[in-house]
Amino acid sequence: MASITTDAQGRVVDQIALQNAVRLLLANVDDPDREGLQGTPGRVVRALWEMTRGQMESPEAILSTTFDEPCDEMVVLSGIAFTSLCEHHLLPFTGTVDIGYIPGKVVGLSKLARLVDCFSRRLQIQERMTAQIADSLDTCLDAQGVAVIVRGKHACMACRGVRKAGAIMVTSAMRGVLKDNPTARAEFLELIK
């Protein structure tokens, strides 16, 4: 692998400098030359790139292929698994996303999962991720209504600070009729039970 590369956004990236930064971090907590840690700087850099590649993806591109199919009823996809990195501690949070929308345009179900990946594979906070998913669906699909519920377990809560491993954070974002119409919102909440 070349030391100097360019990422998808045109930024110059120095792989060796990144690995040296990880090595410096390791040197402050352990011996970076011991057998188990020798390859760690490269692995950490590759893992960070993989876990943040959503920053280089476009939600508009993901949702651009739609079907000319009339549909005025709610579409729900629940239990979409995700892993993200908390931007405050660079520790993972994992969980599931439930999406419901009343389409203006119909999109393939795999696109909903890809949209979750687009926003979860970034340095992130759960509240923002929830809103970003809802806003993209609302805007790109001309939806009559959108509902997004995210349930996440945060390593920053479990392994440091208050150390509450079983805590689950729940965030929601509602748009259009799924926000304004209690009957539609209740239907969504019943469907994801």
**CATH of the domain spanning 67-191:** 3.30.1130.10
Q: Average pLDDT for residues 122-133, to the nearest whole number?
A: 98
Whether pLDDT at 1 is above 60: no
- Kindly indicate the confidence band of residue 7, based on its pLDDT and cuts at 50, 70 and 90: low
Decide if 114 contacts 64 (C-beta within 8 A). no
Give pLDDT tens digits for 137-184: 999 999 999 999 999 999 999 998 899 999 999 999 999 999 999 999
Look up the pTM and report it: 0.92
Query: Which CATH number does the domain 4-51 belong to among 3.40.47.10, 1.10.150.120, 1.10.286.10, 3.40.718.10?
Result: 1.10.286.10
Q: Residue ranges of the domains in the chain?
A: 4-51, 67-191
Identify the H or E element spanning 179: helix 177-180
Token pair in block for residue 154: 């945060």
- Kindly indicate the confidence band of residue 3, based on its pLDDT and cuts at 50, 70 and 90: confident
Average pLDDT over the chain reads 94
Report pLDDT for 96: 98
Report pLDDT for 6: 66
